[in-house]
Structure 1
Amino acid sequence: MKIHKVLNNNVAIVKNGQGREQIVTGRGLAFGKRPGDEIDASAISQTFTLQTGTTAELTRLLAEIPYGCLQVSGEILDLAKQAGLSLDPRLLVTLADHLALAVHRARAGEAVANVMLWDTQRFYPREFRVAKAALGLIETKLNVTLPPDEAGFIAFHLVNAETSSAGTDAAKITQLMQEMLSIVRYYFHFEPDSTTSDYSRFITHLKFFAQRLLRAEPMATVDEALLQLILARYQAPSACAKRISDFLLTRHGYAVTPAERAYLTLHIERLVYRAQAQ
């Protein structure tokens, strides 16, 4: 494998056997090298196959990101995979870029408050657990202590990487979830128990509901007779679901389909009345 272009001591562009350009990274793999020199395959830790339209931005980022941040980013992705998260591989670079900035801020004594930290812990517990573990990894590997708020920012990167193929945004999804949950809480004067399985199911439903709204991706239709049965049988949850639908339309311009409203009604009924029956 021969070097096509050296970006820095740790990053180079090479051409694979099919003549396609790839970016390879590894500590010191390009030190003292020039275009045309052979590269030691055992020194490569990460490989990126370049796609049309992404070369310039990716090479710029990789040339600027400290190699330690790239290494730690890769280890955080390993933690996420062990936790069962399925992530877009491009997260490696975007997360490393974020870590480089976060480390710079921490060493400069600059703090950025994360106003959505509490909601992130509540709505994305798996991602947040990985992010908390990432803070320990960063402290060990990079010898810098990041503030707890950074766990929320890292968790958002993980959430976005789970949904990026659909073009969704974690902050917007979290906002919608928080607004819908608040309507349920105030409508029923009810504080849900976040440790229950019904709460977890409800939050999961809200997450995918919000994603569908952002994608303008409607849920499959519901039989009209079944829809009327749900609305008649669960009148209070149905009224709450209608209030949420009206809010989403007037505040955000999202039209909620009858099918979405029916499923939301069922989830509200399960969350509120099952908890009260226990």
Structure 2
Amino acid sequence: MAISHGPFTVQRILSNNAVLVKTVKGNDVILLGKGLGFGRKERDLLTNPKYEKIFVVPEGGEEQALDLIERVDPAVMQVTEEIIKLVKLHLGEVLHSRVYLGLADHINFTLIRLSQGMEIKNPFISEIKAMYPTEFSIAEQGANLIAERLKVTIPHEEIGFIALHLHSARHNRPVGESLKHSEIINQVVKYLETKVGPLKERGGLNYTRLLSHLQSCINRLITKMTIENPIIEQLKEKFAESYQMARHVGDIMGTGLGIEVPDAEIGYLTIHLERLRCRTD
């Protein structure tokens, strides 16, 4: 949303340096600037305020935005904005404004945990890095920005969570849903490792292809997209062991998603698992 320099109508004074205002188009935004709120009162008209930052309040997220602005260091808000701008810089995509709330809140909580010496664990880091390489790369740059601006070193595991936020924002889905998908794939990988040996450490082409296929499979299942597999019977006969493994993988995915995995998907999984079993990386 393009924001002009005014006029704005004051809705609420948040502090001497922050005010909630409404634009001429009826959008709620928060203006940040030194002394911007001093001496102001509700319904004041700001024709050309000298603000330093403008924060777009997502529809339905007014209270969350106000709470965040009041309790989070402006420096955290600033670095969050810079991280989101990296997405536009590298991908040409403008993310929905609500990502500011979730990511800023997450980064703020992470900084609190790190300041208290708490360890950040991410059991799905390998899957996240392999499935979302672009988002992970941007998140790594974001971690560098946090280190430069806030003098805090962000651990590798946390970079994975930032990548999840960016991925979820790009695809307009809740972060919890993306995390759930990563957990399901992590469970699949653990099962497969009991059958074919270590996978994460190998990082081979077939492993990367497998994770990409699992991610695509999940997307098809949750969007109810159907596919055809005319050679399913031949796959059952020729690659019987891989097919049985694929059926078990389908059970894991189906249970996690609450969706029955069709035979066509099991057939394509069979092909990927046969590659893994043959170790053709």
Report the counterpart of residue 135 of structure 2 in structure 1.
Answer: 127
SS at match of 2:46: coil
Unaligned runs of 5+ in 2: 1-6
Deviation at 1:68, TM superposition (A): 0.9
Report the counterpart of residue 158 of structure 1 in structure 2.
Answer: 166
Q: How many Å separate the matches in 2 of 1:148 and 1:40?
A: 43
SS at match of 2:83: helix
Deviation at 1:269, TM superposition (A): 3.4
Please tell me whether the aligned partners of residues 241 and 261 of structure 1 are also in contact (alpha carbons under 8 angstroms): yes
**RMSD (Å) for aligned C-alpha atoms:** 3.1
Report the counterpart of residue 80 of structure 1 in structure 2.
Answer: 87
Report the counterpart of residue 17 of structure 1 in structure 2.
Answer: 24
Deviation at 1:10, TM superposition (A): 4.4
SS at match of 1:133: helix
Report the counterpart of residue 70 of structure 1 in structure 2.
Answer: 77
Q: How many Å separate the matches in 1 of 2:171 and 2:146?
A: 25
Pick from 265, 268, 271: which aligns with 1:263? 268
Deviation at 1:241, TM superposition (A): 0.8
Q: How many Å separate the matches in 2 of 1:10 and 1:116?
A: 40
Residues 95 and 85 of structure 1, relative CA distance in 2, 3 Å threshold: farther
Q: Does 1:34 align with 2:44?
A: no
Please tell me whether the aligned partners of residues 237 and 268 of structure 1 are also in contact (alpha carbons under 8 angstroms): yes
1:19-65 alpha-carbon deviations (Å, 9 max, x no partner): x13213434373423331415466353342542x3322232223332
Normalization by structure 1: what TM-score?
0.79
Q: Does 1:222 align with 2:222?
A: no
Residues 233 and 40 of structure 1, relative CA distance in 2, 3 Å threshold: farther
Count residues in correspondence: 269
SS at match of 2:173: helix
1:75-133 alpha-carbon deviations (Å, 9 max, x no partner): 111223334385443211211112222223333x3323314264343443333332222
SS at match of 2:193: helix
Identical-pair percentage: 23
Report the counterpart of residue 194 of structure 1 in structure 2.
Answer: 203
Residues 112 and 167 of structure 1, relative CA distance in 2, 3 Å threshold: closer
Report the counterpart of residue 99 of structure 1 in structure 2.
Answer: 107
Matches within 5 A, 1:225-244: 225-244=230-249
SS at match of 2:13: strand
Q: Which moved more, 1:254-263 or 1:165-174?
A: 165-174
Residues 189 and 69 of structure 1, relative CA distance in 2, 3 Å threshold: closer
Report the counterpart of residue 180 of structure 1 in structure 2.
Answer: 188
Report the counterpart of residue 217 of structure 2 in structure 1.
Answer: 209
Pick from 101, 114, 118: which aligns with 1:111? 118
Q: How many Å separate the matches in 2 of 1:251 and 1:40?
A: 53
Unaligned runs of 5+ in 1: none
